């Protein structure tokens, strides 16, 4: 659990330098998401520190970065506006408890069931969201306090520094990998902006615009223990539980999908159930230290991975350095040009987006292509949790539709003169209509056998279909025989139970999905 280094001690340097790069990129993100949630900047910065540190130590995915995120902030804002920030802290505390329970009950494994097209849509949609979020950095506050797009020299300097940042990140690794290219780009661009006294917007300018306070700063002290000041009764639970449940679900979905993505990039495997517990413990801690909570951050995680961070040490370094910035070095961080951080995030967008999806879109099934586009669009216009749920549901319906067509029967007359229907394929809610059309009740002989040896009855809809078939033959005065059905099937059949031919040795023992036997 406490193995902070990767496979070789030499990774320590990469992890520390990568952690420094991530810490610099966390500052404006945490401030922005605090603003979205209508809380003070320090509430977001403390969340980035607490969630980042605890998940780095106890989470299930070394190298993954967690902190305050926009996906959670957009849900939190209505709670804060209606009930105040103390109710937010109570909600985050309960959210953490729910996430810990999800890990203890081993629910994290179900993320492995998310289809690959949904993963592609998730990655593409999130890349678009990250890109659109950076466009807000190209706005400045006017004399009336409203935000408007940059113009003139300020815009040209911003674009030039962003382009320089991206060029350094792209080309530096071709010459040396001694220093993460993202960190080098931030240092070079900051040095140029200060050395030439360029009119470039800085992190401090951004904080002032977001808060509307000319004296605003990211400086602060250490987080202090603060138990939520709310009445702990059923009325409070009624208010916070729906929010806590939604936040817990969104946080786990985003974290576990990010975990899966990093698994694929690094060709390693994280522990999803342990990640649930780690995220939960982090949010419980946020709830009692006055922070807004959080989850995994795909943008910062990609910065970390691309900069060489692979172990828990990179995440721990990022969190600790972020706290150091807040407490001791806020004035240094406030001097960093926003253009440098925007350039870093633009490179993350280029690296995150699955450009290969354009190449394969014509070669994959149309249903998969539709799911990719659908999930990407829903991610952009709503949120990640809804997008993933929609994608999984659509994929499941397509799967059911395709497998409904896989059921068929071969028939022959046996030595007793009975007609045997040898069924192939799964019998479930999606295939019952095709199943009913396989039989020619009017022209079949007096005795008909349905052989289930190469089929499987999956749910109660299938049981009802078998009962209906028996009733059809019974009305014609014919006898139906059912072979090789599970004992569960026999128990669930009402009209056709007596028609099952029991063979203790050969009959299967699979279970049927039905509330009657649950």
Tens of pLDDT, residue by residue over 291-342, are 999 999 988 898 899 888 989 999 999 999 999 999 998 888 889 999 998 8
**What residue has token string 């729910």?**
98
Is 440 part of a structural domain of the chain? Answer: yes
Residues 198 and 338 in one domain: yes
Q: What mean pLDDT is predicted for residues 452-458?
A: 91
Domain membership of residue 372 (yes or no) is no
Do 330 and 417 reside in the same domain of the chain? no
Is residue 141 located within the same domain as residue 286?
yes
| Whole-number Å distance between alpha carbons of 514 and 518 | 6
Q: Are residues 287 and 419 in the same domain?
A: no
Is a pLDDT exceeding 50 seen at residue 435? yes
Report which of 63, 307, 298, 65 is spatially closest to residue 185, judged by C-alpha positions. 307
3-state helix, strand, coil in the chain (%, to 5): 60, 10, 30
Whether 334 and 432 map to the same domain: the answer is: no
Domain span at 453: 405-517
**How many percent of the chain have pLDDT more than 70?**
97
Query: What local confidence, expressed as pLDDT, does residue 8 receive?
Result: 38
Q: Are residues 207 and 344 in the same domain?
A: yes
User: What band does 9 get if pLDDT is binned at 50, 70 and 90?
Assistant: very low
- pLDDT(10) > 50: no
Q: What angle do CA 155, 161, 164 make, to 5 degrees?
A: 140
- Asked if residue 419 and residue 280 are part of one domain, the reply reads no
The answer to whether position 507 is within a domain reads: yes
For residues 348 and 409, membership in a common domain is answered with: no
In a domain, 468, yes or no: yes
Whether the CB-CB separation of 60 and 272 falls below 8 Å is answered with yes
Q: How confident is the model at residue 141 (pLDDT cuts 50, 70, 90)?
A: confident
Whole-prediction pTM:
0.71
Residue 413: CATH number of its domain? 3.30.750.24
Both 205 and 336 in one domain: the answer is yes
Hey, what are 217's tokens?
Answer: 């700063």
Query: Which one of 352, 369, 397 terminates a domain?
Result: 352
The whole-chain average pLDDT of the chain stands at 88
User: Are 342 and 162 spatial neighbours (Cβ–Cβ below 8 Å)?
Assistant: yes
Q: Mean of the pLDDT values across residues 108-120?
A: 80
Average the pLDDT over each of 127-136, 161-170, 266-275 and give the range with the smallest value: 127-136
Both 326 and 411 in one domain: the answer is: no
Tell me what pLDDT residue 436 has: 93
Question: Looking at the predicted structure, is the pLDDT value of residue 285 above 50?
Answer: yes
**Same domain membership, residue 79 and residue 166:** yes
Number of domains in the chain: 2
User: Burial level of 186, CB count in 10 A (0-12/13-18/19+)?
Assistant: buried
Are residues 337 and 417 located together in one domain of the fold?
Answer: no
Q: 50 with 225: CB under 8 angstroms?
A: no
Indicate whether 32 belongs to any domain: yes
């Amino acid at each position: 659990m406490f193995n902070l280094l990767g496979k070789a001690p030499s990774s320590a340097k990469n992890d520390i330098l990568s952690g420094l790069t991530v810490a610099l990129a966390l500052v404006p993100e945490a401030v922005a998401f605090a603003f979205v949630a209508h809380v003070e900047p320090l509430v977001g910065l403390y969340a980035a520190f607490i969630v980042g540190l605890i998940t780095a130590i106890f989470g299930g995915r070394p190298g993954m970065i967690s902190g305050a995120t926009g996906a959670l902030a957009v849900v939190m804002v209505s709670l804060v506006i209606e009930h105040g920030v103390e109710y937010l802290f109570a909600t985050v505390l309960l959210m953490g408890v729910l996430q810990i329970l999800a890990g203890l009950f081993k629910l994290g494994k179900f993320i492995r069931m998310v289809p690959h097209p949904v993963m592609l849509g998730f990655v593409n949609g999130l890349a678009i969201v990250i890109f659109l979020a950076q466009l807000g950095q190209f706005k400045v506050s006017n004399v009336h306090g409203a935000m408007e797009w940059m113009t003139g020299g300020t815009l040209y300097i911003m674009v030039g520094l962003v382009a320089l940042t991206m060029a350094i990140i792209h080309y530096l690794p071709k010459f040396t990998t001694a220093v993460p290219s993202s960190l080098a780009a931030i240092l070079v661009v900051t040095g140029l902006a200060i050395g030439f006294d360029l009119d470039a917007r800085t992190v401090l300018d951004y904080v002032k615009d977001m808060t509307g306070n000319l004296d605003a700063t990211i400086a602060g002290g250490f987080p202090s223990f603060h138990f939520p000041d709310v009445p702990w009764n059923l009325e409070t639970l009624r208010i916070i539980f729906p929010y806590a449940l939604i936040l817990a679900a969104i946080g786990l979905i985003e974290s576990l999908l990010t975990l899966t993505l990093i698994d694929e990039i690094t060709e390693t495997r994280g522990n999803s159930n342990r990640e649930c517990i780690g995220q939960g413990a982090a949010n419980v801690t946020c709830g009692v230290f006055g922070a807004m909570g959080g989850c995994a951050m795909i943008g910062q995680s990609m910065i970390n991975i691309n900069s060489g961070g692979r172990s828990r040490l990179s995440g721990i370094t990022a969190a600790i350095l972020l706290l150091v910035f807040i407490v001791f070095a806020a004035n240094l961080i406030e001097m960093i040009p926003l253009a440098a951080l925007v350039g870093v995030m633009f490179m993350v967008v280029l690296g995150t987006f699955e450009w290969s999806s354009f190449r394969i879109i014509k070669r994959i099934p149309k249903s998969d292509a539709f799911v990719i586009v659908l999930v990407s669009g829903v991610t952009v216009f709503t949120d990640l949790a809804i997008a993933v749920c929609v994608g999984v549901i659509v994929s499941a319906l397509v799967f059911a539709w395709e497998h409904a067509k896989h059921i068929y029967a071969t028939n022959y007359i046996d030595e007793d003169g009975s007609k045997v229907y040898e069924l192939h394929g799964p019998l479930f809610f999606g295939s019952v209509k095709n199943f009913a059309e396989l039989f020619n009740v009017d022209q079949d002989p007096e005795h008909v056998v349905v052989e289930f040896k190469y089929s499987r009855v999956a749910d109660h809809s299938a049981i009802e279909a078998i009962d209906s078939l028996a009733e059809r033959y019974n009305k014609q005065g014919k006898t139906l025989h059912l072979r090789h059905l599970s004992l569960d099937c026999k128990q669930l059949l009402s009209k056709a139970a007596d028609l099952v031919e029991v063979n203790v040795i050969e009959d299967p023992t699979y279970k049927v999905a039905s509330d009657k036997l649950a």
